[in-house]
Chains A and B, each alone.
Chain A
Amino acid sequence: MEEFRKKLRTKIVLYWIMAASLLIALIVLQVLVHRGVLRGETNMGFFVGGITVLIMNIMRMRKAVKDDAALKQWYVRNTDERTIAVQQKAGNFTSLFTIFLLSIAAIAASYINETVYWTLGAALGVYPLVYLGALAYYNKKM
């Protein structure tokens, strides 16, 4: 359990770094937009959402690090085989379903808007590449 507590502490530091990076990126982008270097708008929702989720996770992890009962609960949730299986199955299905629907959407968009079609086409092209890369990695690792 002590090792898990250590892992959680490292995770907290990592999350702080990520939140700080997001905040810095948001400020830099806002400054660049105001000075006219970049055109368009900074996607505030993304940054604020990301930072909020990270801070909420940090608070939960800090509570788990301090409280033994919460730590045990956290440990069970993270090592529970059923939860891991559910996550894997859901990820697997979502990947396949997304590829299928991206194809349909790309076909439909090709008749409506070329930019949307190319965007969906690019997303569709990246998907198998990432998948093949992950497959090669896990084939070596497992």
Chain B
Amino acid sequence: MENFRLTIKKRIYFFILLAAVMVAGIILLTAFGRANDGFNATSGILGAVLAIAIGNVVTSKIALGNEAKLKEMYIKYTDERSAQITKEASTTTFRVILLGISAATIIANFLSETVSCTLSVCLAFIFMVYIAVSSYYNSKM
């Protein structure tokens, strides 16, 4: 359990660092990039990452201060069933997204060439990453 406590502490440091980077980014963007077209999009994504980082810091701190919560978190992180569920969900999401993007590309081709091209590039990219990662794990495992 002591090892897990250490891991959680490291996790807190990581998320604090991430939050600090996001805050710096938002401040810089507000100070210098307000006039840019992408201000809303960039600040929105940075804000979302900041919220995730803060949420993780808070839950980890609560777990460190409470033995029962820490045990609960430990079980959640080491539970084989949870790990299997996450893996299965990721794989299914990957397949659904591939099918969805393929269908969207075909439909978008009749509506907007830009959208169709963007989705095609996304699809090709996802395939390339998947093939590269598969061959990596094939040689590693």
Contacts and interface: CB of A to CB of B under 8 A. Distances in A.
B42 A107 contact: yes
Nearest to A41: B109
B41 A82 contact: no
Interface string B19-53: 00000000000000000111011100100000000
B85 interface: yes
B86 to A, nearest CB: 7
Given A39-B110, A107-B45, A90 B122 contact: no
Contacts of B89: 131, 134-135, 137-138
A91 B90 contact: yes
A139 B89 CA distance: 9
Interface stretch (B60-68, B69-77, B91-99): B91-99
A88 B126 contact: no
A40 B88 contact: no
Contacts of A98: 97, 125-126, 129
B100 to A, nearest CB: 7
Contacts of A89: 87, 133, 137, 141
Given A115-B115, A131-B89, A82 B105 contact: no
Nearest to A87: B91
* B-side interface size class: 35 or more
A141 to B, nearest CB: 9
Nearest to B81: A142
Interface in A109-137: 109-111, 113-117, 119-121, 123, 126-127, 130-131, 134-135, 137
- Nearest 10 pairs of A and B residues by beta carbon: A110-B38, A110-B41, A91-B91, A134-B89, A111-B38, A92-B90, A40-B110, A90-B134, A91-B94, A134-B92
Interface of A: 38-43, 46-47, 50, 82, 85-98, 101-103, 106-107, 109-111, 113-117, 119-121, 123, 126-127, 130-131, 134-135, 137-139, 142
